[in-house]
Amino acid sequence: MSAPDTGDRPPGAAADTSSQSGLAAALTPVLTVAASLLGLCLLWGLAAHAWPSRAFPGPAQVWQVLLAEAANGDLFYHLGATLGRVAAAYVVAMVVGSVIGVLLGSHRSADRFFAPWVVLFLNIPALVVIVLAYIWFGLNEAAAIGAVAVNKIPNVVVTMREGARALDPSYAEMAAVYRFGLLDRIRHVLLPQLQPYLAAASRSGIALIWKIVLVVELLGRSNGVGFQIYLYFQLFDVTAILAYTLAFVAVMLVIELFLVQPVERYATRWRRRPA
Amino acid sequence: MQPVGAVVPLRVDIAEKTFRSAQGVSITALQDLSFEVRQGEFACLLGPSGCGKTTTLRILLGLDKDFSGSFQLPEGGSDRIAAVFQEPVLLPWRTVEQNVRLALPKNLRTKNLDGLFDTLGLAGMRALYPAELSLGLARRAALARAFATEPAVLFLDEPFASLDERTAERLRHLLLTVWSARPTTALMVTHNLREALMLSDRIIVLAQRPAHVLGMFDVRLPRHYRNPQVMSDLLRSFQQKFPGVA
Ligand SMILES: Nc1ncnc2c1ncn2[C@@H]1O[C@H](COP(=O)(O)OP(=O)(O)OP(=O)(O)O)[C@@H](O)[C@H]1O
Ligand SMILES: [Mg+2]
């Protein structure tokens, strides 16, 4: 007897990660990443050594500043402020974008009417949205987070609309015959089918959002990594700018490795099959 | 037609069902289709491929409301309906047991399903995901889901299609075992005459598209008398009554 196929994998679906035999096999990718990053640092150090300049500090100097900023608490305060904004904008963008996307994907006439709006919003520059949000709603937290979310929502809409179009009607019909409640339908029928699309939107979302958050902070907030970078730009302190940038990239990497990937592995556990 | 006051659990009276294809061609799938299935009876809809059997079931399941005519589902007791589709349609991201329990009404969610799973030979498979099942096992899980809901009426759409004959035969016996434990008004679609003769109390024979009833064939014999000898007699008398069918 042969097992039936699980069907096509939509874009963004995580690959199976079933072979974890032995510690060495598990460590190899980690070591590769470490060696690769070390190589980059080395190259950077050599370059900085070859062209010594205040505008191009080496990794050791950046590390010194990073430690100092961490010791006096500034680093964590500003990182925290930025992370909070990233998280808030992410949640708002994913929820609003998913709801709109699924509605458009499942109602053909609504989609035809609103499709030009989506294209329009996709093409409004982030800077314009941010400036307008600050002018209309004032230099406050809600305007900042809202502006970031609005920049991301059209992307989420497009991805989730694709996901809704790919929904298998036979599951919805089964749920109708067996009278699933609304919550069960969302939780057990809709969301699992949309999961690869949610993952894809999340991935591109976090990357885009944290970059826009820095601009929002630069233009109208008095804390956060973006504000600090602006401050050190005026002081022409490249070392501090790089220190903050590196710290933030590191945090996002940790989130990706220890939050995003495990959640994804859990959500796709049913795809795994015994060898 | 029916004497007043008679209990008619499932009454179907579809005047017409027409599909319009994307190119604007219209296909009349059903025309003047009317029949009845009595309380606790197992009926089979027998008809050639593409004649409109699935279409009929989809209308009765409430999945297709674009037709003219009417139908009446059984009343009394549970008002739930259950279906075994042409494909198993199990949620791939839920285990076998979760798939069955999700179909149950809230007050039955925690009910004991050991007996049902044992009968269907699924006792060791409750924690598996559908991708880990063979097609035969997946179809058993679909049967388990349908029977677990204790429906007032059960619809089956070629539940044994695309299985090898031995597996299909085992599943037919399993179906009879669970059905006999609680005889539910059932309507099963098939184009396998032998299967219909083995399982049903009455066979509703459909014509080519547009589907309408050619006639009825009652199998009054209790199922445990239907041995190979009797089956070939039944087959012969069916073919006398409906020459050219199957
Ligand atoms: N969504 C649809 N759009 C257009 N035509 C359809 C649609 N669904 C079914 N039909 C047509 O209606 C007719 C009956 O289809 P149906 O699926 O009910 O057949 P069936 O008796 O179940 O066949 P089978 O035994 O092969 O499953 C077919 O000719 C089919 O082409
Ligand atoms: Mg069919």
Question: Does residue B72 form part of some domain?
Answer: yes
Question: Does residue B169 form part of some domain?
Answer: yes
Question: Does residue B239 form part of some domain?
Answer: no
Domain boundaries, chain A: 82-237
Q: CATH code for A82-237?
A: 1.10.3720.10
**DSSP code string of A144-204:** HHHHHHHHHHHHHHHHHHHHHHT--HHHHHHHHHTT--HHHIIIIIIHHHHHHHHHHHHHH
Give the per-residue pLDDT at B8: 56
Counting from 1 in the atom list of ligand 1, the atom nearest the Cα of B206 is 21
Question: Does residue B228 form part of some domain?
Answer: no
**What is the average per-residue pLDDT within B104-129?**
86
- In this structure, the answer to whether residues B3 and B67 fall within a common structural domain is yes
Give the per-residue pLDDT at A13: 44
Give the per-residue pLDDT at A8: 43
Omega prior to B210 cis, within 30 of 0: yes
- In this structure, the answer to whether residues B53 and B99 fall within a common structural domain is no
Question: Does residue B244 form part of some domain?
Answer: no
Question: Does residue B127 form part of some domain?
Answer: yes
Kindly give the distance from the C-alpha atom of residue B206 to the centroid of ligand 1, in angstroms, as a whole number. 14
- In this structure, the answer to whether residues B76 and B14 fall within a common structural domain is yes
Counting from 1 in the atom list of ligand 1, the atom nearest the Cα of B53 is 21
Question: Does residue B48 form part of some domain?
Answer: yes
- In this structure, the answer to whether residues B60 and B144 fall within a common structural domain is no
Higher pLDDT, A47 or A13: A47
Residue type, A231: L
Where does the pLDDT of residue A154 fall: very low under 50, low under 70, confident under 90, or very high at 90 and above? very high
Cα separation, A61 vs A32, whole angstroms: 25
- In this structure, the answer to whether residues B111 and B3 fall within a common structural domain is no
Judging contacts by C-beta atoms under 8 Å, the chain A residues touching residue B92 are 6-7, 192, 270
- In this structure, the answer to whether residues B70 and B156 fall within a common structural domain is yes
Where does the pLDDT of residue A254 fall: very low under 50, low under 70, confident under 90, or very high at 90 and above? confident
As for ligand 1, residues whose beta carbon falls within 6 Å of it are B 19, 21, 27, 29, 47, 49-55, 191, 209
Instruction: Give A168-206 pLDDT, tens digit per residue.
Output: 999 999 999 998 889 999 999 999 999 999 988 988 888
- In this structure, the answer to whether residues B63 and B155 fall within a common structural domain is yes
- In this structure, the answer to whether residues B74 and B154 fall within a common structural domain is yes
Taking CB atoms within 8 Å and a gap of at least 24, the contacts of A54-57 are A54/A236, A54/A238, A55/A236, A55/A238, A56/A238, A57/A238, A57/A239, A57/A242
Out of A6, A178, A180, name the one closest to residue B92 (CB): A6
Instruction: Give B66-81 pLDDT, tens digit per residue.
Output: 888 888 887 756 678 8
Question: Does residue B171 form part of some domain?
Answer: yes
Instruction: Confirm if A158 and A118 have CB atoms less than 8 A apart.
Output: yes
Instruction: Confirm if A247 and A66 have CB atoms less than 8 A apart.
Output: yes
- In this structure, the answer to whether residues B13 and B67 fall within a common structural domain is yes
Burial of B65 (0-12, 13-18, 19+ CB in 10 A): exposed
Domain of B182, CATH number, reads 3.40.50.300
Going by the DSSP 8-state scheme, the letter that residue B223 receives in this structure is G
For residue B34, pLDDT beyond 70 = yes
Is the pTM higher than 0.90? The answer reads no
- Does B170 reach chain A within 8 Å, measured CB to CB? no
Strands B185-190, B26-37: parallel, antiparallel or unpaired by DSSP?
A: unpaired
Q: Report the number of distinct structural domains present in chain B.
A: 2
Strands B42-46, B10-20: parallel, antiparallel or unpaired by DSSP?
A: unpaired
Residue B163 sits in which domain range? 1-80+150-217
Cα separation, A16 vs A275, whole angstroms: 11
Q: Do B103 and A178 touch (CB under 8 A)?
A: yes
Burial of A86 (0-12, 13-18, 19+ CB in 10 A): buried
Residues of chain A with pLDDT > 70, as a percent, come to 91
